[in-house]
Amino acid sequence: MTEPRIFDGGSWRERLLVPELVAIGLAVAVVSSLGSPMVPTVADDYDVSLGTAQWGLTAALLAGAVVTPVLGRLADGRYRRQVIVAALGTITAGGASAALPLGFGVLLAGRTLQGVGLGLMPMAMAVARDHLPAERGTRTVAALSVTTATGVGIGYPISGFLVDTVGLRATFAVSAAATGLVMVGAALSIPASDHRTQEPVDLRGATALAVGVSALVVALSELPTWGAASLPFAALVALAATALAVFVRRTLAVRHPLVDLRSLSVPSVRVAHTVAVLAGVGMYFLFSLAIRYVQTPVSTGYGQGRTVLAAGLILAPFSVASLAMNRLTGVIRRRMDGRWLMPLGCGAFAAAMVAFGSARSEVWQLVVVMVLAGVGVGTVFAAMPQMIVAAVPAAETGSALGFNQVLRTIGSSIGSAASAAVLAAETLPGARFPLDRGYTTSAIIGLAVWLVALATAWPRSSLRLGPPTPELARYEAESVDAEVAGAVMYEPDSATPPQSRDEPGR
C-alpha cells in the first residue's frame, strides 16, 4: 500500500473536494428524510394500505443494512471513487424511478435503490482522512457529522413542505436531480484510491445475509395476515434461520469476511451488539407510530390530521436532542461511571414509549416524546463505541464498530416492519386506519423491547470506563450523527480509533 495523495487546495478539483463531501452528507439526509413522514401520503396516492406503504421505509433500511457491508469492502480498496459514484447514481436512479407514475411496485423499487445511499457517509469520511491534511481532515470529518445530522433535522420539514405543495412524485424528482448533481461532483473531485490494495468480497456471505434478513422482515410484516401457524410464515422463518446460519458459518470460515463475528466472544461487545439490534427495533417502532398517528384524520376519533410538513417538524426535536446528548456524554462520563450511560439511555427511551402510550393527543405531548427519545438515542449510541473500543484489540475495532452499525440498521428495518404489522392486526376488516388501542399496544411492545435492552445493558462487572480520549469522542460523535441520519457506518479496515484509557484485559 502506497501513501495516499494529499489534497492541499492547489487546483479547482482539490478545492471542490470538501464541498463535495458535505454534499454527500446532504444526499444521505435527503434519502433519510423521504421515509417515515411520507407513509400516509404513499398510502393515499397509490391506494394501498398503510402497512403496505410502510414498506417504502422498510425497504430502504433493509437495502442499507444488506448492501452497505459489500460497498464498504469494495470502497476499502482501489475502487472507492467508483463505488461512491455508483452509489450516488443508484440513489439518483431510485429517486427518478419513484417519481414515475408507474404504480407502487416501481415506487418500492426506487426506495430500495435509494437505501443503497445509507452507506455513503463512512466512505466520505474515509476520503477526508486519507486525502486531506491531518488537521483539515479532522475538521472536515466533524463537519460531515454535523452536516448529516442537522441535514436530516432540516430535511424532514423540507421534504414535508415539498410533498404538501408540489406532490409526492415531484418531491422524488427533486431528490433525483439533487443527488444527480452530487454524483457529477463526485466523479470530478473524489480522488482515486490507487494506494490501497483490493481484497475479495464475500458475495456468498452477502447473499446469505440478504436472504436471511429479508425473509425475517417479510415474515414479520405478513404475520397479521398469515398467522403464526401458517405454512408461509413458518417457511419464511425457516428460510431466515437457515440463511443466517449459513452466513454465520461462512463468515467464520473465510479469510476476508464482510463483518467480524469473532468479537462476539467478548461479553461487553456481545452486549453492545445485542442492544444495537434492540435499539434499532425500538427506535423505528416509535418513529413509525408517531408519524402515522400525527397524520391520522381527526374523523377517526383519535388522530391529529396534520400535514406531512407537520409530521416532519415532529421529528426535528429528536435530532436536536440526540445531538445535544451526544455532545454532553463526554462531560457526563467524567462525573459518573461510564457503564451507566447505556442503561440510562435505554431508560430515557423507555420513558418516551410510556409517554407515547399514555398521552399523545396533543402536539406538545409528541414533542416531549421525541425529546425523550432523542436523549435516549443520543446517550445509547454515544456509549456503544466506548464499550466496544475498550474491549477489543485496536486492530479489530473498526470491524467491530462497523458490524455494530449494520446491526442497528437491521434492527431498524425489523422495527419498521413489526410496527406496521401490529397496527395492521388492530385494523378492523374494511377499515383504513387502525383502532386507537393499536397505538397503545404498539407502545407497550416498544416499551418491552427497550426494557429488554435496559436489562441487557445493565452493568454486571467491575469495569469502569474512563473519560474518552479526543479521538474516541470524535468517533462517538460520528456514530450518533450517522444514526440520527439513518446512515450506516461501515469501515472495516480503516484507521481505527484508539483504545479507551481503561482497557480491560481479555
d(CA 79, CA 44): 42
Dist CA 265 CA 151 (whole Å): 37
Q: From CA 129, how far away is CA 142, in angstroms rounded?
A: 11
pLDDT of 225 strictly over 70? yes
Going by C-alpha positions, the residue among 53, 47, 46 that lies closest to residue 101 is: 46
Q: 484 pLDDT exceeds 90?
A: no
Whether the pLDDT of residue 379 is over 50: the answer is yes
Predicted local confidence at residue 452, as pLDDT? 95
Could you tell me which CATH number the domain at 12-201+256-485 has?
Answer: 1.20.1250.20
Amino acid identity, position 292? R
- pLDDT value at residue 195: 58
Q: What is the mean pLDDT of residues 128-135?
A: 71
Buried/exposed code over 351-362 (b: 16+ C-beta within 10 A; e: otherwise): bbbbbbbeebee
With 0.85 as the threshold, say if the pTM is over it: no
Q: Measuring CA to CA, which residue among 149, 174, 185 is closest to residue 32?
A: 149
Domain-wise residue ranges, the chain: 12-201+256-485, 202-255
pLDDT at 133 over 80: no
Say if residues 78 and 193 touch (Cβ distance below 8 Å): yes
What's the number of CA atoms in the CB half-sphere (13 Å) around residue 221? 23
Mean of pLDDT values over 236-255: 90
Please write the tens of the pLDDT for every residue from 415-451: 888 888 888 888 888 788 889 999 999 999 999 999 9
The better pLDDT of the pair 336, 290 is held by: 290
Residues with Cβ within 8 Å of residue 118, at least 6 apart in sequence: 28, 31, 32, 60, 61, 63, 64, 68, 409, 486, 487, 488
Instruction: Please determine, for residue 18, whether its predicted confidence score (pLDDT) is greater than 80.
Output: no
Contacts of 472 (CB under 8 A, 6+ apart): 385, 386, 389, 497, 498, 500
Per-residue pLDDT reduced to its tens digit, 341-372 = 889 999 999 999 999 999 888 889 999 999 99
pLDDT number for residue 180: 92
Find the length of the chain: 506
**445-475 tens-digit pLDDT:** 999 999 999 999 888 754 445 445 544 545 5
Provide the residue type at 352 as one letter: A
Extract the C-alpha cell encoding 284: 423505528
More confident residue, 58 or 184: 184
C-alpha to C-alpha distance for 401 and 496, rounded to whole angstroms: 9
What CA–CA distance (Å, rounded) separates 478 from 488? 11
Decide if 128 contacts 144 (C-beta within 8 A): yes
Question: How many CB atoms neighbour CB 305 within 10 A?
Answer: 12
> Looking at per-residue confidence, does 262 or 374 come out higher?
374
Phi-psi region of 505 (alpha: psi -120 to 50; beta: other; left: phi over 0): beta
The residue type found at 484 is: V
Q: What is the dihedral of CA 362, 445, 315, 453, to 10 degrees?
A: 130
The mean pLDDT of 249-271, rounded to a whole number, is: 81
Which amino acid is it at 317? P
Judged by DSSP in three states, 32 sits in helix
Torsion, CA 27, CA 154, CA 381, CA 71, rounded to 10: -10
**Grid cell locating 382:** 454515544
Task: Tell me what the pLDDT averaged over the chain comes to.
Answer: 79
- C-alpha–C-alpha distance, residues 145 and 95, integer Å: 24
Biggest CA–CA distance in the chain, Å, is 66
193, 81 contact by CB (below 8 A): yes
Helix (H) or strand (E) holding 163: helix 134-166
Query: Average pLDDT for residues 137-150, to the nearest whole number?
Result: 63
In whole angstroms, give the CA distance from residue 249 to residue 247: 6
What is the number of H-type helices and E-type strands within the chain?
18, 0
pLDDT band at 499 (very low <50, low <70, confident <90, very high): very low
Closest by CA position to 152, among listed 47, 255, 26: 26
Our CA angle for 487, 493, 499, nearest 5°, is 90
Report the pLDDT value the prediction gives residue 333, as an integer from 0 to 100: 73
Q: Which of 136-140, 251-255, 500-504 has the lowest mean pLDDT?
A: 500-504
